[in-house]
Amino acid sequence: MESMQKSENVLNSNKGRLLISCPDKPGIVAAVSQFLYRQGANIVESNQYSTDPAGGTFFMRIEFECEDLGENAPNLKEAFTAIAENFEMDWRLSLASQLKKTAIFVSKEPHCLLELLWEYQSGELDAEIALVVSNHEDSRTLVESLGIPYHYIPANKDIRKEVEEKQLQLLEEYQIELIVLARYMQILTPDFVSKHPNRIINIHHSFLPAFIGAKPYERAYGRGVKLIGATSHYVTNDLDEGPIIEQGVERVSHHHNAEDLKRIGRSVERSVLARAVNWHLQDRVIVHENKTIVFH
């Protein structure tokens, strides 16, 4: 696994990603393209979207190859500043070779964790999984067998502040850039969330706002639902109402009992979370107000 990731880093050593949002007006694409051309870069992927060509917001993601990018990135960023200021851009340039350090939080249900670990092992998750944090010991053996540190921190609402202090200390120690809540069944405080804006990704069933609370699948079965789904979103202080990154559904019928619904739901949750996490890791997501622009 380590050699595969090193190989991928070598292959991506000259690949950069530029994400831009700014007021829409003529000339943005031309200015950015000409800038990259002057820097000796070759654009390999380009996507853009405008909420309204007349006074809306413009979004753009460009992936490019540029010789010796790792060494020249600071100069490239400095040179781009003039264009960014001219078009009033919010922007960021990232290097594909620099994998984002990721922490996975999990409770008892391991299905989402297992999916992420599988994609990590197979080289399909563009991340460096630095640690796993859990309020249960259930997944320790699995995680540690892959050489990933596992931190058990018991948690409940009565000791939430102390728990989060320990978690935040770990996140700082490991220099974490992304937190994935892989069925972590504890509510995060506003203080915790504010320290990681648009860098905490959650997964939950898509019955919301129906069937809030305990045993959603049992109650959904009692109502005879015909669709099972999952939603992955960024965490905000409004519980389960952060910007949505990805969703998925599967059709069910009267033949399925409550356990069937859970099984189908777990399958959807796994795939939806993995896609959302990978899109974030590949710098394909821009948050705009309480929505996301996702460049597939």
> Cβ neighbours of residue 170 under 8 Å, at least 6 residues apart?
103, 131, 133, 151, 176
CB 150 within 8 A of CB 134: yes
Per-10-residue mean pLDDT, the chain, length 296 = 51 92 97 97 97 95 96 96 98 97 97 98 96 97 97 93 96 98 95 96 87 87 92 92 95 93 95 98 96 96
**Tokens found for residue 81:** 């500043």
Predicted local confidence at residue 212, as pLDDT: 80
Residue pair 93/70 in contact (Cβ under 8 Å)? The answer is no
Annotation marks residue 260 as catalytic: no
Q: Which one from 68, 90, 240, 283 is the annotated catalytic residue?
A: 240
SS3 56: coil
Alpha-carbon gap, residue 264 to 255, rounded angstroms = 13
Q: What is the pLDDT of residue 157?
A: 86
Tokens of 117: 């670990």
- Reading the block at residue 57, the tokens are 């917001």
Name the one residue in this structure whose structure tokens are 């990704």: 201
**Where are any strands of DSSP class E within 159-283?**
178-181, 200-205, 227-234, 244-251
Total length of the chain: 296
Question: What distances in angstroms separate CA 226 from CA 206, 216, 219, 256, one per listed residue?
Answer: 12, 14, 13, 10
Q: Are strands 90-95 and 57-65 parallel, antiparallel or unpaired?
A: unpaired
Its pTM stands at 0.93
Q: Which helix (H) or strand (E) holds 75?
A: helix 69-86
**pLDDT value for 10:** 57
